[in-house]
Amino acid sequence: MDDFNWTDKRVVVTGGAGFLGRHIVARLRARGAGAITVPRQAEYDLREVANIRRLYAAARPHLVIHAAGIVGGIGANRARPAEFFYDNLRMGTQLLHEAWAAGVEKFVAIGTVCAYPKFTPVPFKEDDLWGGYPEETNAPYGLAKKMLLVQSEAYRQQYGFNSIFLLPVNLYGPGDNFDPDSSHVIPALIKKCLDARARGDRRIEVWGDGSPTREFLYVEDAAEGIVLAAERYNASAPVNIGSAFEISIKDLVGAVAAATGFTGEIAWDTGKPNGQPRRKLDVTRAEQAFGFRSHTHFAEGLRQTVAWYQANRPGG
């Protein structure tokens, strides 16, 4: 499907003003998509079905890419598990159902690596998704997003509706969320290191013991994978979107400290949770199904993320 033509497609990108969504929109525009609708919460609160119907009636999309979500790191997930479950669940299920009801050609659901069981054989294969309960600190969020996979399969079986379900690994890059109350690990560490330098602190504190591993995918690579899937993939079987690069939190902290110029002590708060012990995806299916491979080396992606934040952080 290399001849997929975006110029005659109307596209809705939920979350299109957010971190990942902005990069998806940029990729679509680079491919010639002209009619892109990005619903803003002030006008379209997508938790309410009436707003979804109003959005679809106005935009008349051929394609919907659902990248919106209530998201955050371990702290935010522990503080607001009910919100993370309910808001993500009703937003996703209603968006997909109303897309089918409105005759939308294709629905692209963006899931999360948090949907995987806490103890999943490494590398995570899509067939292992139902092998156990997710890691407790983000299970409500992960399960709410995972229901889009169940819905995709059910609507394809009963209605022949073309929807797909993608599982991006942890993302990072320019434009990430650096709010300490809701950010993920890389932006949180970058901010912590740069703030410590600015104050002259010689010590920072990090949650856990540093032993867990994570896989990180540069946001521009993730956007490319999602757009490729929108163009070329037409099945409900879930697909991992990752980089196949795994790093321990201990090594990650060292890399961020070096990239930000922080040379002080790293103190580990072992009373705080580690999260899932290991995360590394098997990315074979994405390459075979729609030709996606990540291209950005982690060190280069981290350098660009730090540079972006230094240029845009409050106070310069």
Supply the pLDDT for residue 316.
59
The pair of structure tokens assigned to 166 is 């993608």
Sequence-distant (6+) residues with CB within 8 A of 61 are 10, 11, 12, 37, 99, 104
The pair of structure tokens assigned to 266 is 């790293």
Q: Phi and psi (nearest 5°) for 20?
A: -70, -45
Asked if residue 14 lies in contact with residue 95, where contact means CB atoms within 8 angstroms, the answer is yes
Radius of gyration of the chain (CA): 19
Query: In 3D, which of 164, 312, 188, 304 has the Cα closest to residue 238?
Result: 164
Q: Is 309 a catalytic residue?
A: no
Sites in the chain below the pLDDT cut of 70:
1-2, 316
Go through the domains of the chain in sequence order and give each one's CATH number: 6-172+217-242+280-295 (3.40.50.720)
Peptide bond into 168 cis (omega under 30): no
Q: What is the pLDDT of residues 189-202, one digit of tens each?
A: 999 999 999 999 99
Residue 60 neighbours by CB distance under 10 Å: 13
Q: How large a percentage of the chain has pLDDT more than 90? A: 84
CA distance 197 to 194: 5
CA distance 200 to 297: 31
Q: What is the pLDDT of residues 256-267, one digit of tens each?
A: 999 999 999 999
Residue with tokens 């997929």: 4
Supply the pLDDT for residue 312.
94
Residue with tokens 């994405």: 286
* DSSP H helical ranges for the chain: 19-30, 49-59, 74-79, 81-101, 139-159, 185-199, 219-232, 249-260, 284-290, 298-312
Asked if residue 100 lies in contact with residue 49, where contact means CB atoms within 8 angstroms, the answer is no
Supply the pLDDT for residue 157.
98
End-to-end CA distance of the chain: 45
Handedness of CA 114, 117, 120, 125 (dihedral sign): negative
Supply the pLDDT for residue 273.
82
Determine which one of 116, 141, 155, 233 is catalytic: 141
**Three-class SS of residue 64?**
strand
Supply the pLDDT for residue 52.
98
The pair of structure tokens assigned to 310 is 């230094």
pTM for the model: 0.93
**Three-class SS of residue 135?**
coil
Supply the pLDDT for residue 198.
94
